[in-house]
């Protein structure tokens, strides 16, 4: 019976060795798998960090573009305002020139009217003086 027992013990030992070997292989496979998962996690984390950095960089560029567009818009608005102010200034200069011209014409007309008034006044005075002389002469001519 000893050989049978030995045979069973050898078979059991072989089965146990196979189990240990399978367990060791599974452990190695599990360790390898864990290492791969850890590497993938590390790679994904690094990739996520690169993407986040890229996104921050993109956001900064977009902010810079928006800021520059705002400056361009402000600059364009300032240019439009300057052009508008220049047009208004030119219109005001024209209006002032026209007003000065009209004022000068009015002063000339006023001076002309004043001359006419003075001339008319002189003519009236001369006419009255002549009427008085004629009246005096007609009275003196009757009296004499």
pLDDT beyond 70 at 7: yes
User: How far is 72 from 84, CA to CA, in rounded Å?
Assistant: 18
| Predicted pLDDT at 140 | 77
Read off the pLDDT band of 1 (50, 70, 90): very low
User: How far is 118 from 121, CA to CA, in rounded Å?
Assistant: 5
Q: Of all residues in the chain, what percent carry a pLDDT higher than 70?
A: 96
Q: What is the pTM of this model?
A: 0.42
Sign of CA dihedral 35, 36, 40, 43: positive
Q: What is the mean pLDDT of residues 45-49?
A: 94
């Amino acid at each position: 019976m000893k050989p049978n027992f030995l045979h069973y013990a050898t078979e059991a030992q072989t089965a146990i060795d196979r189990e240990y070997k399978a367990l060791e292989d599974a452990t190695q496979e599990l360790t390898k798998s864990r290492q791969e998962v850890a590497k993938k996690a590390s790679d994904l984390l690094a990739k996520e960090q690169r993407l986040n950095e890229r996104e921050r960089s993109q956001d900064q560029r977009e902010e810079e573009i928006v800021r520059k567009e705002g400056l361009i818009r402000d600059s364009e608005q300032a240019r439009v305002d300057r052009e508008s102010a220049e047009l208004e200034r030119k219109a005001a200069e024209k209006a002032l020139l026209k007003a000065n011209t009209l004022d000068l014409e009015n002063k000339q007309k006023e001076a002309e009217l004043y001359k006419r008034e003075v001339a008319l006044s002189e003519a009236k005075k001369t006419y009255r003086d002549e009427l008085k002389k004629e009246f005096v002469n007609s009275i003196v001519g009757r009296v004499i």
